[in-house]
Amino acid sequence: MSATGMRHTPRRASIGVTAPKTVFGASAKPRRALAPLAQQSARGRVAKASVGLATGAALVGGMMIGTTQHAAASELSNAPRLSKGDQSNSVERLQKELNARKGKNLPTTGYFGDQTAKRVNKLKSKHGLRTDGVAGRAVWKILLNDKNHVSGPSLSGKVSHKSAPKKRAVKASYSSNSSKGAKAVAYAKAQLGDPYSYGANGPGSFDCSGLTQAAWRSAGVSLPHNTNAQYSKARHISKSQLRPGDLVFFYSGMSHVGLYVGNGKVIHAPKPGSSVEYIKMSYMPYAGAARPA
C-alpha cells in the first residue's frame, strides 16, 4: 500500500494504436497507388494511337478524294459531245450515269435515241441548262462530279453516227400502193418517231386526229381535225371488219383515234411528251371503228 492508503491500478497496454514504423528514424510516408499511374499511361497511349489513326484516315481520305477528283477531271477531258444518232461506248456510259439517278432506267444500248435525249434534257432543265438534247461538257461535268458517279465504259472510244432515214424517200414509197387505205398507212408509218403536239397535223408533229387526218389527206380523202367529227363522217364498221387504213377509236366519248395497220395494231400519236408509235389495240379500251373511203 502507498503512503496515501490508495492502491495503484496497473495500466493496461493499449492495443488499439500502433506507432508508425520508421525508417532511419523518420516516419514512413504511405506509397501512392500505382494503378492510376498505369491507367493514365495507358490512356495516353490510346489517345496517341487514336490521333494517329485519325490522322492516317484523314490522309487516306484526302488521297482518295484527290484521286477521285483527278480521275473525274481526266475523264471530263476525254468526254465527247453526244447527240441523237450517236452510237458508242460513251453513249452506254452516258446511259449508265443517267440510270444512277432517280427516274425510269434507260436501256443501256449504246445508241443515243429519243429516250436518252429526253433524260439528258431532264437533267439539263434541273440545272438550268438549255434543253437541246445534247450531252456536252456541262452535262458530263454534272455526271462525273457527284456521288452517283459510275465507272466504265471508257469515254475515250470512237463515236459513230447513224443518221435517221430521210422521210422523203420513205414517203415516196406510199404512192405506188393502189388502195387509199394502204396509202394512208404508208404515210402514217413514215411519221413514226415524230413528236406529239396538241392541235398539230404535220409536217413534223401531230396529235391523234391530226395524224389520221394527214394520213387520209395523203390518199386524197378529207377528214375533220377532231375524233368525234371523224367518226361521224366516216362509215361505221365492226371490229371484225377492220382492214389497214381504217380509223379505230378508243376510250369513252371516243376521245382518241389511231390508224389500223393490221395484226391487231394501230399507229397513233399518244400524248404530250411522246412520239408517233405502233401499239396493240388491246392496250386501250376499244370504242368503235370507221372507214373514211
Tens digits of residue pLDDT in 20-45: 444 444 444 545 544 454 455 555 55
- 208 labelled catalytic: yes
User: Which has the closest alpha carbon to 189: 250, 258, 248?
Assistant: 258
Domain parsing of the chain, residue ranges: 42-78, 79-161, 167-291
User: Which has the closest alpha carbon to 286: 221, 234, 240, 222?
Assistant: 240
For cell 377532231, what's the residue?
A: 226
Q: Does residue 186 surpass a pLDDT of 90?
A: yes
Q: Does residue 268 surpass a pLDDT of 90?
A: yes
Work out whether strand 86-87 and strand 265-268 pair parallel, antiparallel, or are unpaired: unpaired
pLDDT, tens digit (0-9, with 9 covering 90-100), for 229-264: 999 999 999 999 999 999 999 999 999 999 999 999
* CATH architecture, domain 79-161: Orthogonal Bundle (1.10)
Question: Dihedral angle at the C-alpha atoms of 234, 239, 243, 247, nearest 10 degrees?
Answer: 40
Predicted pLDDT at 3: 43
Q: Largest Cα–Cα distance in the chain?
A: 166
User: Which has the closest alpha carbon to 144: 96, 72, 69?
Assistant: 72
| The one catalytic residue among 161, 208, 225, 236 | 208
| DSSP H or E stretch at residue 254 | none
- 225 labelled catalytic: no
- 256 labelled catalytic: yes
User: Which has the closest alpha carbon to 86: 21, 28, 144, 133?
Assistant: 133
Work out whether strand 86-87 and strand 247-250 pair parallel, antiparallel, or are unpaired: unpaired
The domain 167-291: what is its CATH number?
3.90.1720.10
pLDDT, tens digit (0-9, with 9 covering 90-100), for 195-219: 999 999 999 999 999 999 999 999 9
Between CA 36 and CA 113 the distance in angstroms is 73
Read off the C-alpha cell for 247.
380509223
Q: Which residues contact 190 (CB under 8 A, 6 or more apart)?
A: 167, 170, 171, 173, 174
Q: Does residue 6 surpass a pLDDT of 50?
A: no
Q: What are the DSSP E strand ranges found in the chain?
A: 22-23, 26-27, 86-87, 160-161, 235-237, 247-250, 256-262, 265-268, 277-280, 286-291
| The one catalytic residue among 127, 149, 161, 256 | 256
